[in-house]
Amino acid sequence: MMEGKIGTPEKPLSDLGRETYLSWWTQRVIDYIRIHKDEPFTLQEMGKITGMNEEDTQFTLEQMGMVKFSNNIPHLCVDEEFLNGLYKKVGKPGKRVLRENIHWIPFKLRWESNCISNY
């Protein structure tokens, strides 16, 4: 997320890997919904903030019962009691890393002229 890139784990996931990622994804999605519940948003917008791709976001919403369909129109569940239950179900969230406490520098490869050789 620091690079502004959306990612996904290598697939196929094992059963344990799917359970672990689904837990983490659910927490991120609920956090996003709580902040943006009074605003319209898309899966793409959610992905930019959470770092999740659309496929993983949609999978999470469907697996955790956060999206319901009525006349082929999706409706997102933002009921706080329901979201609290899901958050509790997926386990205690990990420690939050505060962006302002990260001192991150993107990796850049630097070529030295004396490192280039002719074969």
- Check if 81 is active-site: no
Task: Write down the catalytic residue from 10, 39, 81, 112.
Answer: 10
Q: Which two tokens stand for residue 89?
A: 């179900």
All residues at 6 or more sequence positions from 23 whose CB lies less than 8 Å from its CB, including other chains:
90, 91
Q: Pairing state of beta strands 67-70 and 73-76?
A: antiparallel
Going by the DSSP 8-state scheme, the letter that residue 15 receives in this structure is H
Is there a contact between 68 and 74 (Cβ–Cβ < 8 Å)?
A: yes
> How many beta carbons lie within 10 A of that of residue 50, not counting itself?
21
What is the set of active-site residues?
10
